[in-house]
Amino acid sequence: MSVLRKALPDFKWESVDVRAYKDEATAPFRTVTRQVLASAPDLAGELRYFEVAPGGWTTLERHAHVHAVTILRGSGRALVGHEVLELGLMDLVTVPAWAWHQFRAPPDEALGFLCMVDAERDRPQLPTAEQRADLEAIPEIARFFGLASLSQEP
């Protein structure tokens, strides 16, 4: 691999594949892509760029491994644990071990972010129906999921 991979327009890079975020059969999400920017046998961490298209969202999940996120494009919101965060360019988000988390792009703008993780890491867990209901019972989180606002609209 070359030591230099030039940036291309629209948050793409030379010699970096734009991949599906996950296997769609394994987890719910909407319109998210994944690009692996750094991953090598001699690196303990990995650096990935995820982009959530306008109106899209990542899988609601949790795991033992930690995410260190830097917002590179656009804006959006995130649920981390029980906190709903407003995200802007260059903001830093830490997703602690076992915190439920999801990233959402606004209707009119993509949300792109770098995510550093350990190369060796556990698989994500999806919420059970009960865990999901517990989160939705919190009004701010229901609004984050787009549920409360839908019920208030005609």
Examine the residue annotation and report whether 1 is marked as an active-site residue of this protein: no
Strands (E), 7-110: 7-8, 12-13, 19-20, 30-38, 45-57, 67-74, 76-80, 83-87, 92-95, 101-104
Footprint of its own copies on this chain (CB under 8 A)? Answer: 1, 3-7, 11, 13, 16, 37-38, 40, 42-47, 65-66, 68, 70-72, 80-81, 83, 85, 87-97, 99, 114, 116-120
CB of 149 to its own copies, least distance (A): 22
Q: Which among 151, 144, 114 is positioned nearest to 37, based on CA atoms?
A: 114
CB of 110 to its own copies, least distance (A): 15
CB of 79 to its own copies, least distance (A): 10
Q: Which secondary-structure segment (H or E) carries 113?
A: strand 111-118
For its own copies, the closer of residues 16 and 148 by Cβ is: 16
Catalytic (active-site) positions: 115
